[in-house]
Structure 1
Protein backbone atom coordinates (compact mmCIF):
# COMPACT_ATOMS: atom_id res chain seq x y z
CA UNK A 1 0.00 0.00 0.00
CA UNK A 2 1.35 3.37 -1.04
CA UNK A 3 1.22 6.11 1.58
CA UNK A 4 -0.66 9.16 0.36
CA UNK A 5 1.39 12.27 0.96
CA UNK A 6 -1.40 14.85 0.59
CA UNK A 7 -5.15 15.20 0.24
CA UNK A 8 -6.19 14.72 -3.42
CA UNK A 9 -8.05 18.03 -3.65
CA UNK A 10 -5.08 19.89 -2.17
CA UNK A 11 -2.81 18.29 -4.79
CA UNK A 12 -5.20 19.03 -7.68
CA UNK A 13 -5.52 22.64 -6.54
CA UNK A 14 -1.76 23.17 -7.02
CA UNK A 15 -1.74 22.25 -10.73
CA UNK A 16 -1.23 25.33 -12.89
CA UNK A 17 -2.81 26.29 -16.18
CA UNK A 18 -0.40 25.69 -19.09
CA UNK A 19 -1.38 28.93 -20.86
CA UNK A 20 -1.65 31.14 -17.77
CA UNK A 21 0.93 29.57 -15.43
CA UNK A 22 0.40 32.19 -12.73
CA UNK A 23 -3.02 30.60 -12.15
CA UNK A 24 -3.88 27.21 -10.75
CA UNK A 25 -6.72 25.26 -12.31
CA UNK A 26 -8.66 26.11 -9.13
CA UNK A 27 -7.94 29.85 -9.58
CA UNK A 28 -9.12 29.62 -13.18
CA UNK A 29 -12.30 27.82 -12.14
CA UNK A 30 -11.82 24.82 -14.44
CA UNK A 31 -11.26 22.40 -11.52
CA UNK A 32 -14.81 21.27 -10.78
CA UNK A 33 -14.59 18.27 -8.47
CA UNK A 34 -12.17 15.80 -6.88
CA UNK A 35 -13.52 12.47 -5.63
CA UNK A 36 -11.48 9.81 -3.83
CA UNK A 37 -12.43 6.14 -3.53
CA UNK A 38 -9.58 4.28 -1.84
CA UNK A 39 -6.48 4.92 -3.93
CA UNK A 40 -8.51 5.99 -6.98
CA UNK A 41 -9.08 9.67 -7.72
CA UNK A 42 -11.57 11.09 -10.20
CA UNK A 43 -11.06 14.73 -11.13
CA UNK A 44 -13.61 16.71 -13.11
CA UNK A 45 -12.52 19.72 -15.16
CA UNK A 46 -14.33 22.04 -17.55
CA UNK A 47 -12.65 23.58 -20.61
CA UNK A 48 -12.64 27.34 -20.91
CA UNK A 49 -14.01 26.90 -24.42
CA UNK A 50 -14.78 24.06 -26.83
CA UNK A 51 -11.62 22.74 -28.41
CA UNK A 52 -9.28 24.29 -25.84
CA UNK A 53 -5.86 22.87 -26.76
CA UNK A 54 -4.65 23.03 -23.15
CA UNK A 55 -7.03 20.29 -21.95
CA UNK A 56 -4.62 17.42 -22.69
CA UNK A 57 -1.84 19.16 -20.76
CA UNK A 58 -4.18 19.92 -17.85
CA UNK A 59 -5.20 16.27 -17.73
CA UNK A 60 -1.61 15.00 -17.89
CA UNK A 61 -0.45 17.46 -15.22
CA UNK A 62 -3.28 16.43 -12.88
CA UNK A 63 -2.54 12.73 -13.39
CA UNK A 64 1.20 13.19 -12.75
CA UNK A 65 0.70 15.38 -9.66
CA UNK A 66 -1.76 12.95 -8.08
CA UNK A 67 0.26 9.84 -8.90
CA UNK A 68 3.39 11.53 -7.51
CA UNK A 69 1.38 12.14 -4.31
CA UNK A 70 0.76 8.38 -4.01
CA UNK A 71 -2.60 7.80 -5.69
CA UNK A 72 -2.67 4.50 -7.62
CA UNK A 73 -5.18 5.45 -10.30
CA UNK A 74 -6.31 8.82 -11.56
CA UNK A 75 -9.13 9.53 -13.99
CA UNK A 76 -9.77 13.00 -15.35
CA UNK A 77 -13.25 13.66 -16.66
CA UNK A 78 -14.25 16.57 -18.85
CA UNK A 79 -17.53 18.15 -17.74
CA UNK A 80 -19.23 20.41 -20.28
CA UNK A 81 -22.34 21.48 -18.37
CA UNK A 82 -22.68 24.04 -17.12
CA UNK A 83 -20.24 25.69 -19.50
CA UNK A 84 -17.27 27.51 -18.00
CA UNK A 85 -17.52 31.25 -17.51
CA UNK A 86 -14.91 33.86 -16.71
CA UNK A 87 -17.08 34.57 -13.66
CA UNK A 88 -15.58 31.33 -12.23
CA UNK A 89 -12.11 32.88 -11.98
CA UNK A 90 -11.43 33.40 -8.28
CA UNK A 91 -10.69 36.80 -6.75
CA UNK A 92 -7.17 35.52 -6.07
CA UNK A 93 -6.89 34.48 -9.72
CA UNK A 94 -7.99 37.93 -10.90
CA UNK A 95 -5.40 39.52 -8.61
CA UNK A 96 -2.67 37.22 -9.96
CA UNK A 97 -3.59 38.09 -13.57
CA UNK A 98 -3.34 41.82 -12.85
CA UNK A 99 -0.04 41.35 -10.99
CA UNK A 100 1.34 39.65 -14.11
CA UNK A 101 0.23 42.46 -16.44
CA UNK A 102 -2.91 40.75 -17.77
CA UNK A 103 -6.22 42.56 -17.36
CA UNK A 104 -8.73 40.24 -15.70
CA UNK A 105 -12.17 39.91 -17.27
CA UNK A 106 -15.16 41.92 -16.18
CA UNK A 107 -18.54 40.29 -15.57
CA UNK A 108 -19.48 37.73 -18.21
CA UNK A 109 -22.39 38.43 -20.55
CA UNK A 110 -25.67 37.01 -19.31
CA UNK A 111 -26.02 33.30 -19.92
CA UNK A 112 -29.81 33.53 -19.82
CA UNK A 113 -31.55 31.14 -22.21
CA UNK A 114 -33.13 32.50 -25.32
CA UNK A 115 -32.01 34.59 -28.27
CA UNK A 116 -28.73 36.43 -28.04
CA UNK A 117 -29.16 40.15 -28.75
CA UNK A 118 -27.40 41.26 -31.92
CA UNK A 119 -25.44 44.49 -31.84
CA UNK A 120 -24.39 45.85 -35.21
CA UNK A 121 -22.26 48.67 -33.83
CA UNK A 122 -18.87 48.42 -32.18
CA UNK A 123 -18.81 46.94 -28.70
CA UNK A 124 -17.60 49.45 -26.14
CA UNK A 125 -15.76 47.71 -23.35
CA UNK A 126 -13.94 49.46 -20.55
CA UNK A 127 -10.79 47.54 -19.68
CA UNK A 128 -8.46 49.00 -17.09
CA UNK A 129 -4.73 48.88 -17.68
CA UNK A 130 -3.10 46.41 -15.26
CA UNK A 131 0.03 48.61 -15.21
CA UNK A 132 -1.36 52.06 -14.35
CA UNK A 133 -5.09 51.48 -13.79
CA UNK A 134 -6.25 53.81 -16.57
CA UNK A 135 -9.54 53.09 -18.32
CA UNK A 136 -8.17 54.72 -21.48
CA UNK A 137 -7.26 51.55 -23.36
CA UNK A 138 -7.75 50.38 -26.92
CA UNK A 139 -8.12 46.91 -28.35
CA UNK A 140 -5.25 46.31 -30.79
CA UNK A 141 -6.26 42.76 -31.72
CA UNK A 142 -9.30 40.68 -30.73
CA UNK A 143 -6.93 37.70 -30.40
CA UNK A 144 -3.63 37.49 -28.57
CA UNK A 145 -1.34 34.57 -27.72
CA UNK A 146 -4.43 32.45 -27.01
CA UNK A 147 -7.99 32.68 -28.28
CA UNK A 148 -9.29 33.58 -24.82
CA UNK A 149 -7.23 36.79 -24.63
CA UNK A 150 -7.23 40.08 -26.57
CA UNK A 151 -4.27 42.41 -27.07
CA UNK A 152 -4.78 45.95 -25.80
CA UNK A 153 -2.74 49.15 -25.41
CA UNK A 154 -3.02 51.79 -22.73
CA UNK A 155 -3.27 55.38 -23.98
CA UNK A 156 -2.12 56.73 -20.59
CA UNK A 157 1.12 54.78 -20.05
CA UNK A 158 1.48 53.42 -23.63
CA UNK A 159 2.06 49.87 -22.35
CA UNK A 160 0.64 46.92 -24.28
CA UNK A 161 -1.14 44.21 -22.29
CA UNK A 162 -3.37 41.20 -22.69
CA UNK A 163 -6.97 41.05 -21.49
CA UNK A 164 -8.81 37.83 -20.65
CA UNK A 165 -12.03 38.11 -22.61
CA UNK A 166 -15.36 37.76 -20.87
CA UNK A 167 -17.10 34.49 -21.68
Structure 2
Protein backbone atom coordinates (compact mmCIF):
# COMPACT_ATOMS: atom_id res chain seq x y z
CA UNK A 1 0.00 0.00 0.00
CA UNK A 2 1.45 3.39 -0.93
CA UNK A 3 1.32 6.39 1.35
CA UNK A 4 -0.77 9.36 0.31
CA UNK A 5 1.16 12.61 0.33
CA UNK A 6 -0.95 15.66 1.08
CA UNK A 7 0.01 18.78 -0.83
CA UNK A 8 -0.54 21.81 1.36
CA UNK A 9 -1.30 25.38 0.32
CA UNK A 10 2.22 26.25 1.44
CA UNK A 11 3.63 23.67 -0.98
CA UNK A 12 1.47 25.01 -3.79
CA UNK A 13 2.50 28.60 -3.03
CA UNK A 14 6.16 27.53 -3.05
CA UNK A 15 5.64 25.95 -6.49
CA UNK A 16 4.07 29.19 -7.76
CA UNK A 17 6.94 31.31 -6.42
CA UNK A 18 9.53 28.99 -7.95
CA UNK A 19 8.33 30.34 -11.30
CA UNK A 20 8.49 34.05 -10.40
CA UNK A 21 11.73 35.37 -11.92
CA UNK A 22 13.82 38.12 -10.41
CA UNK A 23 13.08 41.16 -12.63
CA UNK A 24 16.77 42.08 -12.92
CA UNK A 25 18.10 38.53 -13.34
CA UNK A 26 15.37 36.46 -15.02
CA UNK A 27 17.49 33.30 -14.94
CA UNK A 28 16.76 32.91 -11.22
CA UNK A 29 13.53 32.91 -9.26
CA UNK A 30 12.75 34.89 -6.14
CA UNK A 31 13.09 31.57 -4.29
CA UNK A 32 16.52 30.88 -5.83
CA UNK A 33 17.80 34.27 -4.59
CA UNK A 34 16.44 33.75 -1.10
CA UNK A 35 14.26 36.86 -1.33
CA UNK A 36 11.30 34.81 -0.09
CA UNK A 37 11.89 34.42 3.63
CA UNK A 38 8.79 32.61 4.75
CA UNK A 39 5.75 31.03 3.15
CA UNK A 40 2.59 30.59 5.16
CA UNK A 41 -0.98 29.79 4.21
CA UNK A 42 -1.94 33.43 4.79
CA UNK A 43 1.24 35.41 4.00
CA UNK A 44 4.49 35.38 2.06
CA UNK A 45 7.36 37.30 3.68
CA UNK A 46 10.08 38.77 1.48
CA UNK A 47 13.35 40.60 2.10
CA UNK A 48 14.91 42.67 -0.68
CA UNK A 49 18.59 42.17 -1.46
CA UNK A 50 19.17 45.80 -0.45
CA UNK A 51 16.99 48.13 1.60
CA UNK A 52 16.75 50.54 -1.33
CA UNK A 53 16.61 47.89 -4.05
CA UNK A 54 14.83 49.49 -7.01
CA UNK A 55 13.33 46.14 -8.00
CA UNK A 56 11.47 45.60 -4.71
CA UNK A 57 8.17 47.02 -5.97
CA UNK A 58 8.42 45.02 -9.21
CA UNK A 59 9.15 41.85 -7.20
CA UNK A 60 6.11 42.45 -5.00
CA UNK A 61 3.92 43.08 -8.06
CA UNK A 62 5.17 39.93 -9.81
CA UNK A 63 4.57 37.83 -6.71
CA UNK A 64 1.11 39.35 -6.28
CA UNK A 65 0.20 38.62 -9.92
CA UNK A 66 1.44 35.02 -9.65
CA UNK A 67 -0.44 34.39 -6.41
CA UNK A 68 -3.63 35.95 -7.79
CA UNK A 69 -3.42 33.96 -11.04
CA UNK A 70 -3.12 30.72 -9.06
CA UNK A 71 -5.99 31.24 -6.65
CA UNK A 72 -4.06 32.75 -3.75
CA UNK A 73 -5.50 36.26 -3.87
CA UNK A 74 -6.08 36.24 -0.13
CA UNK A 75 -2.41 35.60 0.68
CA UNK A 76 -0.71 38.78 1.91
CA UNK A 77 2.81 39.86 0.92
CA UNK A 78 4.83 41.23 3.81
CA UNK A 79 8.28 42.83 3.61
CA UNK A 80 10.80 42.60 6.41
CA UNK A 81 14.26 44.15 6.53
CA UNK A 82 15.52 42.42 9.66
CA UNK A 83 17.62 40.46 9.55
CA UNK A 84 18.92 41.89 6.28
CA UNK A 85 19.18 39.67 3.22
CA UNK A 86 22.44 37.78 2.86
CA UNK A 87 24.12 36.20 -0.14
CA UNK A 88 24.21 33.05 2.00
CA UNK A 89 20.46 32.78 1.32
CA UNK A 90 21.02 32.15 -2.39
CA UNK A 91 20.20 28.48 -2.97
CA UNK A 92 22.72 26.07 -4.47
CA UNK A 93 20.51 25.86 -7.58
CA UNK A 94 20.41 29.67 -7.66
CA UNK A 95 24.22 29.86 -7.53
CA UNK A 96 24.44 27.44 -10.46
CA UNK A 97 21.87 29.43 -12.46
CA UNK A 98 23.69 32.71 -11.77
CA UNK A 99 26.97 31.20 -12.94
CA UNK A 100 25.37 29.85 -16.11
CA UNK A 101 23.86 33.31 -16.72
CA UNK A 102 27.33 34.93 -16.50
CA UNK A 103 27.22 36.29 -12.95
CA UNK A 104 29.74 35.13 -10.37
CA UNK A 105 27.89 34.17 -7.21
CA UNK A 106 29.78 34.41 -3.93
CA UNK A 107 30.68 31.07 -2.40
CA UNK A 108 28.34 29.84 0.31
CA UNK A 109 29.45 31.27 3.65
CA UNK A 110 31.33 34.16 2.04
CA UNK A 111 29.04 36.79 3.54
CA UNK A 112 30.63 36.44 6.95
CA UNK A 113 34.25 36.48 5.80
CA UNK A 114 34.39 38.42 2.54
CA UNK A 115 32.27 41.51 2.99
CA UNK A 116 34.36 43.49 0.51
CA UNK A 117 34.73 40.73 -2.12
CA UNK A 118 38.47 40.66 -1.45
CA UNK A 119 38.63 36.97 -2.36
CA UNK A 120 39.07 36.37 -6.10
CA UNK A 121 35.92 35.49 -8.00
CA UNK A 122 35.79 32.64 -10.47
CA UNK A 123 35.18 33.91 -13.98
CA UNK A 124 31.79 32.56 -15.10
CA UNK A 125 33.03 32.44 -18.70
CA UNK A 126 36.39 30.64 -18.53
CA UNK A 127 36.60 29.47 -14.89
CA UNK A 128 39.83 31.33 -14.07
CA UNK A 129 40.36 32.75 -10.59
CA UNK A 130 42.79 35.30 -12.00
CA UNK A 131 40.20 38.07 -11.63
CA UNK A 132 39.94 41.55 -10.19
CA UNK A 133 37.25 43.94 -9.10
CA UNK A 134 37.25 47.00 -11.33
CA UNK A 135 34.26 48.81 -9.82
CA UNK A 136 32.13 48.41 -6.69
CA UNK A 137 29.24 49.42 -8.92
CA UNK A 138 27.89 46.82 -11.33
CA UNK A 139 24.73 46.61 -13.40
CA UNK A 140 22.57 46.69 -10.24
CA UNK A 141 23.25 47.90 -6.66
CA UNK A 142 23.73 44.33 -5.41
CA UNK A 143 26.55 43.55 -7.85
CA UNK A 144 30.11 44.75 -8.48
CA UNK A 145 31.91 44.80 -11.83
CA UNK A 146 34.83 42.39 -12.17
CA UNK A 147 37.22 41.49 -14.97
CA UNK A 148 38.95 38.23 -15.78
CA UNK A 149 42.66 38.67 -16.44
CA UNK A 150 42.80 35.35 -18.30
CA UNK A 151 40.08 35.93 -20.91
CA UNK A 152 39.75 39.73 -20.45
CA UNK A 153 35.95 39.52 -20.15
CA UNK A 154 34.06 41.72 -17.68
CA UNK A 155 31.39 40.14 -15.47
CA UNK A 156 29.12 40.99 -12.56
CA UNK A 157 29.63 39.47 -9.14
CA UNK A 158 27.14 39.55 -6.32
CA UNK A 159 28.48 41.65 -3.48
CA UNK A 160 28.92 39.48 -0.41
CA UNK A 161 26.84 40.60 2.52
TM-score by length of 1: 0.82
Structure 2 residue aligned with 1:100: 101
Please state if 1:32 is matched with 2:37.
Answer: yes
Please state if 1:14 is matched with 2:14.
Answer: no
User: Residues 72 and 137 of structure 1: is their aligned pair in 2 closer, same or farther, counting only changes over 3 Å?
Assistant: closer
Structure 1 residue aligned with 2:64: 63
CA deviation profile, 1:92-115 (whole Å, cap 9, x unmatched): 0110111011111131025xxxxx
For the Cα contact (< 8 Å) 2:117–2:160, is it kept in 1?
no
CA-CA distance at 1:123 after TM superposition: 7.1
Structure 1 residue aligned with 2:6: none
Structure 2 residue aligned with 1:158: 152
CA-CA distance at 1:57 after TM superposition: 0.7
User: Residues 161 and 69 of structure 1: is their aligned pair in 2 closer, same or farther, counting only changes over 3 Å?
Assistant: same
User: Where in structure 2 are there 5+ consecutive unaligned residues?
Assistant: 1-8
Give SS of 1:109's match. helix
**Equivalences for 1:62-81 in 2 at 5 Å?**
62-81=63-82
For the Cα contact (< 8 Å) 2:117–2:159, is it kept in 1?
no
TM-score by length of 2: 0.85
Instruction: Measure the CA separation in 2 of the matches of 1:72 and 1:35.
Output: 13
Q: CA RMSD in A?
A: 2.1
CA-CA distance at 1:14 after TM superposition: 1.7
CA-CA distance at 1:158 after TM superposition: 1.1
Instruction: Measure the CA separation in 2 of the matches of 1:59 and 1:28.
Output: 14
CA deviation profile, 1:5-39 (whole Å, cap 9, x unmatched): x8222112221111111111110001111222xxx
For the Cα contact (< 8 Å) 1:13–1:31, is it kept in 2?
no
Bigger CA radius of gyration: 1
